Chains A and B, each alone.
Chain A
Amino acid sequence: MTGAHVMVAQLTAAQNFGPQAARDLWWLIIVKTVVVFAFLVVTTLLMIWAERRVVARMQQRIGPNRVGPQGLLQSLFDGIKLALKEDIIPSAADKAVFILAPILSAIPAFMAFAMIPFGPTVSIAGRHTNLQLTDLSVAVLFILAMSSMGIYGIVLGGWSSGSTYPLLGGVRSAAQMVSYEIAMGLSFVGVFLYTGTLSTSGIVDAQAHRWILLEALPSFIIYAIAMVGETNRAPFDLPEGETELVGGFHTEYSSLKFALFFLAEYINMVTVSALMTTLFLGGWRAPWPISLWASANTGWWPLLWFVIKIGIVLFVFIWLRGTLPRFRYDQFMKFGWKVLIPVNLIWIVIEAALKMTSRTGTFVVVGIAVALVLIAAYMAEALQERNRRLAEIDAEEAAERPFDPFAGGFPIPPMPGQQLPTQRPVPVGVATSGHEITGSLPRDFSGDFTSDTISDDDIDDIDDLDDLDDVNGGETDEPDGGRS
């Protein structure tokens, strides 16, 4: 090895791993922990403000602009206001769990961020350290675990409130997050197939030349959808759909307990955005035109690229909320289970096959691809056939049944293919002939008798009647029923 080689090797080592975090000193750990914590809290405050301002602009409003310059301090003062509000624990609540739930929700939200690399190795007060709290070899798994733990807070919060809306919101939220966590976890497989590591810093290093976004576009798209579902954000904000569930799982929460849930929700958003940046968008590495500048990926600069990238992803979150209407719950679950998961699995196989191509003959890959397409085609065919049969059966049944416009107790229009009965019940004729009918109509009034069974005498009789109950018997049953 020549001297130049050694130097290059040392340089790369210093840039990428440094002295491998050289066991940070205790004060460095504390400083980094506090910085990460502060970063999350401040980002949350800014994010809430940005969201309100941006959504306001999208809706032709101004948004909060009174507290601080451009309203920047709005969320801080909202937090202070929340602290000064009464802390209510409903009498029906399970007190211990009710108090525990917001804590359970907030802690994992903070902890997931320990794995996110903010930048390369830098020098702080003469010591080399990674701009990352800790560099685990199972970092992505840890983040997934933390996001699963966060669900506990939501479910327990909804359950312990002893109230209908929070319970429904909590259960919905759990089912939703659990479903989209699978899509999210599967989309990571596409990333690991390229990086060969679960360590976040390793994944960033693997993107030195090209973002994984370009290598595994389907994984990226699935992750982008799943992360919105996972964070319960519009258009997937069903657990707190205001029109359906008031506030969802946190309906009964007030004061700083509510603030903790709110904080956790926004931190989760920041976390999934940072994870997207790390896994797909090159992490802290400078984007292409800037990366031509030699020192773009050294020192403190990467921190800037990283924050800008997170900001862009967060902006998309806001944008989605300002643009899209809420999904219906069954559509949402159907999308997660029937589209995202199978597409994801098929993509994993294709990606692995592509990766193998360089080594083995293309024919293996082509054969497998053809087999997969055939299986998919067969399944689609079978499904279509089944749906067609079901539709036929439905149509037949509908055709056989005579249409009764009053079947549900009130008049309804006919479905396509159904015919309105041509013969009119009596009261229409009576009404057009200028007679007034008062009193309530009996339930079995319609359908039974038709105009040709009623003579003019009957109509005269009706004039005399106070009680229309008698009309049915106008010709046969009880001739004198109503008159007596």
Chain B
Amino acid sequence: MVFSYVPVLALFLLAGGFAVFSIIAGRLSGPRRYNRAKYDAYECGIEPTPQPIGGGRFPVKYYLTAMLFIVFDIEIIFLYPWAVAFAQKGGATVFLFVEMVLFIVTVFIAYVYVWRRGGLEWD
């Protein structure tokens, strides 16, 4: 099975080589005329706002979205093998079905809770 990944590796090397080549070529082929204003951050021509080191703080909404993403991504990961097993011959049993409904409902309760607490609101 490891062999199946050899073409993936080949494509990785080709794509990576192309990307690295492009960046080096871009450095070499373009002109280089220094102008201090050119190296400032772009803000429509006004003096750029000073940036805090490391980008500063993000609105907490984004962290919340990331957390929710992890919850649902894990749900998806559980659903895939279940779907495959369910689709196979003799897999579509009531037991398998109820089991997964229970799982989905469990996550769904958390989802409803987040919704009611306003975790899905953007302003």
State the A residues within 8 Å of B (CB).
23-24, 29-30, 32-34, 36-37, 82-92, 99, 102-103, 106-107, 109-111, 113-114, 133-136, 141-142, 159, 161-165, 167, 171, 174-175, 178-179, 181-182, 185-186, 188-189, 192-198, 246, 251-252, 255-257, 259-260, 329-330, 333-334, 337-338, 341-342, 345, 348-349, 352-353, 355-356, 358-360, 364, 368, 379
Q: How far is the CA of A178 from the CA of B73 in the complex (A)?
A: 9
User: Which residues of chain B (90-108) have a CB below 8 Å from chain A?
Assistant: 91-94, 97, 100-101, 104, 108
Knowing A110-B11, A110-B14 touch, does A86 contact B33 (C-beta < 8 A)?
yes
Q: How far is the CA of A23 from the CA of B2 in the complex (A)?
A: 11
**For residue B33, which residue of chain A has the nearest CB?**
A86
Contact B122 A165 (CB under 8 A): no
Q: How far is the CA of A40 from the CA of B95 in the complex (A)?
A: 45
Q: Which of B39, B69, B121 contacts A178 (CB 8 A)?
A: B69
Q: How far is the CA of A171 from the CA of B58 in the complex (A)?
A: 8
Majority secondary structure, A binding face:
helix
Contact B18 A106 (CB under 8 A): yes
Q: Which of A24, A106, A196, A341 contacts B15 (CB 8 A)?
A: A106
**For residue A142, which residue of chain B has the nearest CB?**
B8
**For residue A106, which residue of chain B has the nearest CB?**
B19
User: A84-B30, A111-B11 known; 4 other A-B pairs, CB under 8 Å?
Assistant: A33-B11, A196-B86, A198-B84, A257-B22
Contact B84 A91 (CB under 8 A): no
Contact A111 B79 (CB under 8 A): no
Q: How far is the CA of A133 from the CA of B41 in the complex (A)?
A: 42
Knowing A182-B76, A252-B41 touch, does A352 contact B97 (C-beta < 8 A)?
yes
* Nearest 7 A/B pairs, CB to CB: A256-B26, A196-B87, A163-B41, A110-B15, A330-B122, A192-B83, A185-B76
Shortest CB-to-CB span from A103 to chain B, Å, is 4
Contact A165 B83 (CB under 8 A): no
Knowing A91-B39, A92-B51, A133-B7 touch, does A181 contact B15 (C-beta < 8 A)?
no
Shortest CB-to-CB span from B51 to chain A, Å, is 5
Q: How far is the CA of A256 from the CA of B23 in the complex (A)?
A: 6
Shortest CB-to-CB span from A347 to chain B, Å, is 11
List B contacts of A341 (CB < 8 A).
72, 111
In the complex, 17 of the A-B residue pairs with CB atoms within 8 angstroms, ordered by the A residue number, are A37-B18, A83-B29, A85-B30, A86-B30, A86-B31, A111-B11, A164-B43, A164-B49, A178-B66, A186-B76, A189-B79, A189-B83, A192-B83, A194-B87, A198-B84, A355-B86, A359-B92
List B contacts of A185 (CB < 8 A).
72-73, 76
Shortest CB-to-CB span from B18 to chain A, Å, is 7
User: Which residues of chain B (1-23) have a CB below 8 Å from chain A?
Assistant: 3-8, 10-12, 14-16, 18-20, 22-23
Contact A107 B19 (CB under 8 A): yes
Q: How far is the CA of A141 from the CA of B73 in the complex (A)?
A: 12
Q: How far is the CA of A333 from the CA of B40 in the complex (A)?
A: 32
Contact A189 B23 (CB under 8 A): no
List A contacts of B104 (CB < 8 A).
345, 348-349
Shortest CB-to-CB span from A108 to chain B, Å, is 9
List B contacts of A255 (CB < 8 A).
26, 30
Shortest CB-to-CB span from B4 to chain A, Å, is 5
Q: Which of A85, A174, A192 contacts B87 (CB 8 A)?
A: A192
Contact A355 B92 (CB under 8 A): yes
Contact A167 B4 (CB under 8 A): no
Interface size on B, residues (CB 8 A): 69
Q: How far is the CA of A382 from the CA of B88 in the complex (A)?
A: 39
List B contacts of A89 (CB < 8 A).
39
Shortest CB-to-CB span from B29 to chain A, Å, is 5
Shortest CB-to-CB span from A216 to chain B, Å, is 11
Contact A161 B22 (CB under 8 A): no
Say yes or no: is B110 at the interface (Cβ < 8 Å to chain A): no
Contact A86 B14 (CB under 8 A): no
Q: How far is the CA of A259 from the CA of B21 in the complex (A)?
A: 12
Contact A135 B76 (CB under 8 A): no
Contact B16 A107 (CB under 8 A): yes
Shortest CB-to-CB span from B13 to chain A, Å, is 9
Q: Which of A85, A92, A189 contacts B80 (CB 8 A)?
A: A189
Q: How far is the CA of A185 from the CA of B77 in the complex (A)?
A: 9
Knowing A84-B29, A188-B80, A246-B42 touch, does A29 contact B23 (C-beta < 8 A)?
no
List A contacts of B22 (CB < 8 A).
256-257, 259-260
**For residue B83, which residue of chain A has the nearest CB?**
A192
Shortest CB-to-CB span from A31 to chain B, Å, is 10
Shortest CB-to-CB span from A342 to chain B, Å, is 7
Q: How far is the CA of A165 from the CA of B115 in the complex (A)?
A: 30
Q: How far is the CA of A89 from the CA of B23 in the complex (A)?
A: 12
Contact B41 A260 (CB under 8 A): no
Contact B112 A163 (CB under 8 A): no
Q: How far is the CA of A144 from the CA of B109 in the complex (A)?
A: 26
Q: Which of B23, B40, B115 contacts A91 (CB 8 A)?
A: B40
Shortest CB-to-CB span from A144 to chain B, Å, is 8
List B contacts of A251 (CB < 8 A).
42
List B contacts of A91 (CB < 8 A).
39-40
Contact A178 B65 (CB under 8 A): yes
Contact A165 B97 (CB under 8 A): no
Contact A359 B23 (CB under 8 A): no
Contact B4 A134 (CB under 8 A): yes
**For residue A259, which residue of chain B has the nearest CB?**
B22
List B contacts of A107 (CB < 8 A).
12, 15-16, 19
Shortest CB-to-CB span from B95 to chain A, Å, is 10
